[in-house]
Each structure stands twice: as C-alpha cells, then as structure tokens.
Amino acid sequence: MIDWILLLSNAAQEIISPTTAAYALAALGLAIHFGFTGLLNFGQAGFMMLGAYGFAIATLTFEWPVWAAMLTGVVASIVFALILGIPTLRLRADYLAIVTIAAAEIVRLLFTTNTFEPVTGSANGLQGYKGGFEALNPIPPGTYGFGPWVYNEYDWWVRIFGWSLVAIAAFVTWRLFKSPWGRVIKGIREDEDAVRALGKNVYFYKMQSLILGGVFGALAGMIFILPRAVVPSNYQTSLTFFIYAILLLGGAATVFGPIIGSVIFWVLLSFFSGFVARAVEVGWLPFLSNVQAGQLRFILVGIAIMLIVIYRPQGIFGNKKELAFVK
C-alpha cells in the first residue's frame, strides 16, 4: 500500500528546503533578465555553476574565508556576464539566447574535463568546502523543529541562510523595479530604440541587468551546494529549463512569482515523483519500469511549461494585461 503520510511529508519538506531557495533565487535572477529586461538568458545554469565552483575552489584550493569565497563566486559571475554581454547585447535578443546556452555548456565542460582535475575534481566534483560555513553557525548542536520539518543545527543554518538571501534579493528587486531605473529597464523590454531616442544608454542598462541577474544566479549556486557536493552534471541545460518553468509558473515580470513558483514547483515535483515511484512498486502502473518512472517527472515538467504558456502566460502572480511572454 502507498504511504500517503510519507509522500505528503516529503513534499512538505520541499517548502523550506535549501534547494527550493536556490531555485527561487536563480529564478529571481532570470526574472530580472527575461521578465523585466527581455534578455533571453538560457545560461542561468552557467551563472549558478560559477557561483558554486567559485565558492568551493576559493575555499579548497586557496583556503580563503567564507566571505572571500562568496565574493569569488560573485566576481566570477560578473566576469561571465561581461564576457557574454559585451559582444551580444548590441545585437538582437535571440543572439544572447544562443550565446548563453552555448557558454553555459562550455563552462560545464571546462569543469568536467580531466585537465583541471586537481582544482575542479573533474566529473567527481568537489566536497569538503563547508567547514568555514559550519563554523559560522550560531545554532547550538541538536535537532529542532516539528511535524515534517525536523532538522539538525547545520540543516537549519543552511535553510535560514538560504532563505535570508532570497528575502534580501527579493527586497532589492522590488525596490529597483519601483524606481526610475526599473522604468528604464521595462522600457527596454518594450522597445529599445524608443528608449534610446529618449537619451538612455540602453547597452549600459542591459549590461547592468545581465550582471545583477547573474549575481543572483551565482548566489543561488552557492545555496544549492550547501546541502550537497559540487557535481558538474547537476548543471546541465535542463537546470536552466527547470528555472524557466518556475519563472513562468510564478509570473515572469513579478518579484514574488519566482519564489512562490519555486515552492509550488518543488512540492508538486516531489509529490508526483514520490507517488509515481510508489505506484510502480505496488503495481498500479504495470507498463512502467522503475527507471522509466524516474524520467516521468521531466515529461511532467515539459507538459506543465506548455500548459502555462498556452493558458496562463502571465503566471500565477502576473498581471493579466502585462503579458511578458506572449504579445
């Protein structure tokens, strides 16, 4: 028989999991790129990867303190944004899409290759970089919590840290898009030439947006690796598309959409994949093997993206008139 309580409690854990926070932050970065500025960034996985590896390599290879390691990841993502933006931001939006998707793959393959094995750990990735972060934990050892949310002191520290970053980033984004700066950015989304004709340096604004969203991606990458190891295969193109699914679900041109979208996405994904796996075990789905059941969730994500784009292009929180996706 299926243990519904276990399924539901696993799903409920996703509400505050650090992975959900990481995806929320990455989706917020993408909201700045795609939803507000109209930059088609298909390489958010690359920004996350640079944040993750920047943090891990600075800690392990250079033995830098936590703040310097975090700064390394952030600086790496800024440099990446400059490399992507300088040649492509003067061109049409589609070119940025092609360049970012390719650049993210190049970054992933560079971290996977054996040539830099002593530094990057190649396909096995890196671990053992959490010491400094653990040492900053103010929570005394023990287990805390209630219901499905019972964790030890490190797990709570990761969650508090991750969600605090999300909250700060959301506040900054909200503040920015209520300001004249945000107005220029949204104007660029609508028509670059019109904004240019009003005396705004469009190229410079697009670069600022690319960097800001990229830095959010890098910070998301750091939250992402705190409960696990850094493994290059986690940063495939599908990661970017999961983040797009979250963004479209919540609403592309909103601040809270990506965050709530991430929570809904992970709760549903965890519930469905748990349900399908158990259903196969007890023989409810005789036409599926265990391996096939594991892949089913990718199909579900694909269908979900299509349904959202067709029937609710503004997402859950988006303004129906302000369709950022379909014009």
Partner 1 sequence: MSSSAGAQGAPIKSTGLHIGEPAPGVKKVDPIIVADNITRTFGGLTAVQVEHLEIPRGAITALIGPNGAGKTTLFNLLTGFDKPDTGEWTFDGQGISGIPAFKVARKGQVRTFQLTKALGLLTVLDNMKLGAKGQSGESLARALFPWFWSKQEKQIEERAIELLTRFKLDAKKDDYAASLSGGQRKLLEMARALMSEPSLVMLDEPMAGVNPALTQSLLDHILDLKTQGMTVLFVEHDMHMVRHIADWVVVMAEGRVVAEGDPHEVMANPAVIDAYLGSHHDEDLGNLDTGVMNAIKELADDDADDDKR
Q: What single string gives the DSSP state of each residue in 215-249?
A: HHHHHHHHHHHSSS-B-GGGGSHHHHHHHHHHHHH
CB of 320 to partner 1, least distance (A): 11
Closer Cβ to partner 1, 218 or 276, answer by number? 218
Q: Rounded to the nearest whole angstrom, what is the least distance from the CB of residue 73 to partner 1 in the complex?
A: 20
Query: How many CA atoms does the CB half-sphere of 243 hold within 13 Å?
Result: 36
Residues that bind partner 1 (CB under 8 A): 172, 175-176, 178-184, 186-187, 189-191, 193-202, 208, 212, 321-324, 327
Q: Assess contact for 308 and 249: CB atoms under 8 A.
A: yes
> Shortest approach of partner 1 to residue 247 CB, angstroms?
17
Q: Which is nearer to partner 1, 190 or 281 (CB)?
A: 190
Closer to partner 1 by Cβ: residue 101 or 309? 309
Compute the distance between CA of residue 81 and CA of residue 316 in angstroms, rounded to an integer. 29
Within 8 A by CB and 6+ apart from 136, the residues are 66, 157
Query: Closer CB to partner 1, residue 130 or residue 196?
Result: 196
Q: How far is the CB of 319 from partner 1 (least distance, A)?
A: 9
For partner 1, give the closer residue by CB, 173 or 270. Answer: 173
- In whole angstroms, the minimum distance from the beta carbon of 177 to partner 1 comes to 9
